[in-house]
């Protein structure tokens, strides 16, 4: 159970950090005088012009890892709850 809670917390922290980073980049993009700020505040274009394709791939990989950890933790939690349900129904019979 501790592993499930740890995975959920890790996923939550990773997502929060990712979205705070995206929000910070969007704010920086909004208030800076670069061409990407005029072009519909396109975060992907901003990242690719500032950090290159490698920067976009790096951030995308971290987001995907956070998403996969979150999905794995959710599946583990559902399996744990299902096993507890089966134990409870088996005990009542």
CA atoms within 13 A on the CB side of 42: 13
pLDDT at 37: 47
Nearest one of 22, 1, 2 to 66, comparing CA atoms: 22
pLDDT at 43: 60
DSSP secondary structure string, 49-64? HHHHHHHHHHHHHHHH
Q: What is the pLDDT along the chain (93 residues), one digit of tens a residue?
A: 677 777 777 777 777 777 666 665 555 555 555 554 445 555 666 666 666 666 666 666 766 777 777 777 778 888 888 888 888 888 766
pLDDT at 36: 47
The CA distances from residue 84 to 6, 9, 22, 69, 80, in Å, are 19, 22, 39, 22, 6
32 three-state secondary structure: coil
């Amino acid at each position: 159970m501790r592993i499930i809670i740890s995975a959920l917390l890790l996923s939550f922290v990773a997502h929060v950090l990712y979205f705070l980073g995206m929000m910070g980049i969007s704010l920086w993009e909004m208030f800076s005088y670069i061409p990407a700020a005029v072009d519909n505040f396109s975060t992907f274009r901003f990242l690719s012009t500032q950090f290159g394709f490698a920067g976009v791939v790096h951030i995308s990989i971290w987001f995907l890892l956070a998403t996969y950890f979150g999905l794995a933790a959710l599946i583990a939690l559902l399996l744990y709850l299902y096993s507890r349900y089966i134990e409870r129904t088996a005990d009542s019979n």
